[in-house]
Chains A and B, each alone.
Chain A
């Protein structure tokens, strides 16, 4: 009985502390909003370094404040460092996978390798967005479907389309599953490649009850007309 009362007290104390902590955090949030508007008002008067420092404060509190953060400097020191680290780490696996990996795969790969101090999906995306500004040899690419991938810069689009067209022509027609198996990439990426080739007019689709299949685009290549 005595012991239970003790734990009860501990728990309620902990929760009380938590709500006090929240109160403090809320004050910080309010304060940061105020600063953000001030920065906006006096654009130019505050140095780049100051905004960056302000951003890292915001980050450590976990407050997303995209409008003002995006307008003053494109990211943060933390994400820049992370981007550099990612570039180093991803080079080999990317080459192995044919130059392109879905962001979800990258996420698994990095967090599994880290074990501690894991990355949030947001941090990963933000770091990947810095690749270009930092002139690292890889890029974050967002397909029309919204799928995000990391691809090596040396990995050219033309090559990708050409290889897709070649495979499809060889087999007559292919679904994304078949193409994925054939080239040894994930179904998701296979589909994106085929869609890309379609977008550029090299392939056309046959959408039937069985599945979505891609054919060489005879509409554009075959010139013989109907009598």
Chain B
């Protein structure tokens, strides 16, 4: 089964940045959810802005419309404001797309930890993302950088502390 495109994807005006403020607002909201859904579906995390225009996400060959580079930038900026995107470089050519924000991931991890009464215990990062105990949890298989970001978010809420174990990292929950 291929990615379930929303109706907007086959609506030509979706690919022109709308001048009307209200309309543009709705349009951008739709773009944000398509981008996030697409990245989630294909398990992608990084986006190269220069290549983006050629990806089917922003280029609908069937109706022969593609989103302009400027409009893509606007969409990405909107995603950044929502906390779902982070630029990797200063020139804004590559970015990380997090279809679930780090804080949300952190919440999920913490819920699992407290549900199983394992606060005050130490985990390795590998255990959390690839261990047998977490199998079936949504954060199972989460990439390490994102897991770290999630834990950092928890750390700022004083719910966890990241510790260095030899050459790998671990975490203690409170």
Chain A contact residues, CB within 8 Å of chain B: 173, 198-199, 201, 204-208, 213, 215, 217-220, 222, 224-227
Q: A205-B13, A220-B26 are in contact. Are A227 and B37 (CB under 8 A)?
A: yes
Chain A CB within 8 A of B65 CB: yes
> In whole angstroms, how far apart are the Cα atoms of A199 and B11 in the complex?
19
A207→B16 contact, CB < 8 A: yes
- State the total of A-B contacts with C-beta under 8 angstroms: 60
> In whole angstroms, how far apart are the Cα atoms of A206 and B15 in the complex?
7
> In whole angstroms, how far apart are the Cα atoms of A204 and B15 in the complex?
11
> In whole angstroms, how far apart are the Cα atoms of A218 and B8 in the complex?
9
List, in ascending order, chain B residues with CB within 8 A of A204's CB: 13, 16, 18, 20, 23, 27
B79 to chain A minimum Cβ distance, whole angstroms, is 15
> In whole angstroms, how far apart are the Cα atoms of A226 and B16 in the complex?
19
> In whole angstroms, how far apart are the Cα atoms of A90 and B162 in the complex?
80
Q: List 5 A-B contacts (CB under 8 A).
A: A204-B23, A208-B65, A218-B7, A218-B13, A227-B37
Chain A CB within 8 A of B6 CB: yes
A198→B20 contact, CB < 8 A: yes
List, in ascending order, chain B residues with CB within 8 A of A224's CB: 7
B22→A201 contact, CB < 8 A: yes
A198→B19 contact, CB < 8 A: yes
Residue in contact with A219 in the complex, picked from B12, B30, B65, CB distance below 8 Å: B30
Chain B contact residues, CB within 8 Å of chain A: 4, 6-8, 11-13, 15-16, 18-20, 22-23, 26-27, 30, 33-34, 37, 64-65
B42 to chain A minimum Cβ distance, whole angstroms, is 16
**Quick one: closest A residue to B36, CB to CB?**
A226
> In whole angstroms, how far apart are the Cα atoms of A199 and B34 in the complex?
26
> In whole angstroms, how far apart are the Cα atoms of A202 and B122 in the complex?
58
B62 to chain A minimum Cβ distance, whole angstroms, is 14
B18 to chain A minimum Cβ distance, whole angstroms, is 5
> In whole angstroms, how far apart are the Cα atoms of A218 and B9 in the complex?
12
> In whole angstroms, how far apart are the Cα atoms of A198 and B17 in the complex?
13
Residue in contact with A205 in the complex, picked from B4, B18, B26, B30, CB distance below 8 Å: B18
List, in ascending order, chain B residues with CB within 8 A of A198's CB: 19-20, 23
Q: A219-B27, A220-B22, A220-B23 are in contact. Are A226 and B13 (CB under 8 A)?
A: no
> In whole angstroms, how far apart are the Cα atoms of A201 and B27 in the complex?
12
**Quick one: closest A residue to B18, CB to CB?**
A204
A208→B12 contact, CB < 8 A: yes
List, in ascending order, chain A residues with CB within 8 A of B26's CB: 219-220
Residue in contact with A199 in the complex, picked from B4, B12, B20, CB distance below 8 Å: B20
> In whole angstroms, how far apart are the Cα atoms of A44 and B61 in the complex?
70
List, in ascending order, chain B residues with CB within 8 A of A219's CB: 8, 13, 18, 23, 26-27, 30
**Quick one: closest B residue to A226, CB to CB?**
B6
Closest 8 CB pairs of A and B: A206-B12, A219-B26, A226-B6, A207-B16, A204-B13, A206-B13, A226-B33, A215-B13
